[in-house]
Structure formats: structure tokens, C-alpha cells
Amino acid sequence: MNYPHPIIAREGWFFLLIAFGLSACVQFFFGFWWALPLWIIAFFVLQFFRDPPRALPLAEGVVLSPADGRVVVVERCIDPFVEREAIKISVFMNVFNVHSNRVPVDGRVEQLNYFPGKFFNADLDKASLNNERNAMVLRTDTGEKVTVVQVAGLIARRILCYVRVGDQLQRGQRYGFIRFGSRVDLYLPVHARPLVTIGEKVYATRSTLAAF
């Protein structure tokens, strides 16, 4: 989950090796201009898999953003994974955002549920219940339940989650990755107070989405 090379995500090493290796080979045999489109793709892949370290805010009783991106939902709804009323906050990640997913609160993993599904644009509301997704339910030390859902998008085809039921997680801890465009949904207790609005840009660990 945590590893000593935070600049480039390990999930991207294979893709980077292929992209840069192919670009170098084409340039060696055919010249720079033939390789230029491949170099552009290689640098796009490099920026997609960047994974910079993040400083942890000192404030207590807050919910940190689990992903970089843009807030697309702030509403009251039903949490379908624990069947209760909840405050839902969704963060949409485009292909230019960092795609490492981080834990929003300190807590123990109570449930992990993977659901195969479709690949609608993750910016759409129907993606939350129809797309491929992985739901993690955390219980905090104060007994609050927080559901974090990784949702695949139009291009995304692989959700990665590295935790197991029973794991004790710390906020800001890296726990998963979604390849090539996606979203993360948070379902919070109804007494949680949202601190963001629709359209706002947020950053994993650095941004605070809500407070208890």
C-alpha cells in the first residue's frame, strides 16, 4: 500500500516500459519524426501515472478527499451498500488527474464488495450504480461508517484495491488505483457537513470534503 517511490505509481511501470521502449526503438531505426507521436503518447502515460507524496492535514474530525478531480455530486441519498440515508460526495477524475486513491478517514475495513458492470462516462450519475465498482465500508474509532466506492469510467478498465476486510487504515494512506479516467463516491453519515460544492477542484489527502 505504501512504498518508497512515490513519484511514479508502480501500476504504471509496465506501461511506461512499453511506451518509452517502443518510442526509443522507432527513433533508433526510423528517426525522430517517425517516433514523435509515440513520444507524445509516452509522456502522456508518464503524467497519468505520476503519484506525488501528499502532506496530511492536522485537523481532526474531517473527511479527506480520496482522489484528485472535480466534485460532481453533493447530495442527500441512500447509501446502497449499507442501506441507510447518507450524504454523497462524488469526485470525477479525468485522464489528466492523479489516479492514486487514498483513505479519507482513519478506520477499520468492515466490508469490501466488487461489482462488475458497464463503462458509462464516470461524470454521469448513473455510473455510480451501473458501472464496474469496488465499495469499501470503513468504521471509524468513533463508530461512524464511511463508504468509499471506486467507480470505473468510459476508458477505465481496471480497478485496483489493495486492502482486506479487517485492515486498520489511516487517512491519507494509499489503498488503490483506477486506470484511465474514473470517479470515487463517498457516502457519509447524514450529520456530516459538506465543505465543498459542485464544480470545485479537489486533491487527494490535501483537500477536506466534509466534517463530522
Tracing cell 479516467 back to the chain, one arrives at 181
Q: How many residues does the chain have?
A: 212
Residue of 65, 90, 182, 207 marked active site: 182
Tracing cell 470503513 back to the chain, one arrives at 138
Nearest to 185 by CA among 60, 48, 75, 85: 75
* Cα–Cα separations (whole angstroms), residue 104 to 22, 61, 146: 38, 11, 9
Asked if 86 and 99 touch (Cβ cutoff 8 Å), the reply is: no
Active-site residue flag, 182: yes
Tracing cell 474514473 back to the chain, one arrives at 182
Please state at what angle helix 13-30 crosses helix 32-48, rounded to 10 degrees: 170
Q: Catalytic residue numbers?
A: 182
